[in-house]
């Protein structure tokens, strides 16, 4: 079983829709969690950190469920410009802390 798993999609949604992605992780001692956005042929860029209490930034909401070992990203009122791949990152506690990436979820927002 992979340490961090994401549904690769693509999620194909109309403008204005609400879409949610989940990311599961296998190591219960994982320390910190992030969502990144990656546009085609570009580097990943931090979208938001995921805190235990959840956090919101405009149309984006991230949540952590430690009991079920997943993090989620909710995008409300989708825009065309939200089309990208969304990567979840879990920093795994081990001999050293190594960021572990999910494969990414592709989102396509259409008119």
Partner 1 sequence: DGGITQSPKYLFRKEGQNVTLSCEQNLNHDAMYWYRQDPGQGLRLIYYSQIVNDFQKGDIAEGYSVSREKKESFPLTVTSAQKNPTAFYLCASQQTSGRDEEYFGPGTRLTVT
Q: Is residue 91 part of the contact set for partner 1 (CB under 8 A)?
A: yes
Tell me whether residue 23 or residue 109 sits nearer to partner 1 (CB atom). 23
- 49 near partner 1, judged by CB under 8 A: yes
Indicate the residue among 78 and 102 with the shorter CB distance to partner 1.
102
Q: Is 20 in the site for partner 1 (CB under 8 A)?
A: no
Does the footprint of partner 1 cover residue 18 (CB under 8 A)? no
> Is residue 78 within 8 Å of residue 17, measured between CB atoms?
yes
Q: Which stretch binds partner 1 (CB under 8 A): 16-24, 52-60, 61-69, 102-110?
A: 102-110
Are 13 and 108 in contact, with CB atoms under 8 Å apart? yes
Q: What minimum distance in Å lies between the beta carbon of 32 and partner 1?
A: 6
Write the DSSP assignment of the chain as a string of letters. --SEEE----EEEETT--EEEEEEES-TT--EEEEEEE-TTS--EEEEEE-TT-EEETTEEEEEETTTTEEEEEE-S--GGG-EEEEEEEEE-SSS-EEEE---EEEEEE-
User: Contact between 41 and partner 1 (CB under 8 A)?
Assistant: yes
Interacting residue ranges for partner 1, rule: CB under 8 A: 31-32, 34, 41-46, 49, 87, 89, 91-93, 96-99, 101-104
């Amino acid at each position: 079983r992979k340490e961090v798993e994401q549904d690769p999609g693509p999620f194909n949604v109309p403008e204005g829709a609400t879409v949610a992605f989940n990311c599961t992780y296998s190591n219960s001692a994982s320390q910190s969690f992030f969502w990144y956005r990656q546009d085609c042929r570009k580097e990943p860029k931090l979208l938001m950190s995921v805190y235990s209490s959840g956090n919101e930034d405009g149309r984006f909401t991230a949540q952590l469920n430690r009991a079920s070992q997943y993090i989620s990203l909710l995008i409300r009122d989708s825009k065309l410009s939200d089309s990208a791949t969304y990567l979840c990152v879990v920093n795994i506690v081990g001999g050293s802390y190594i960021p572990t990436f999910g494969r990414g979820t592709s989102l396509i927002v259409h008119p």
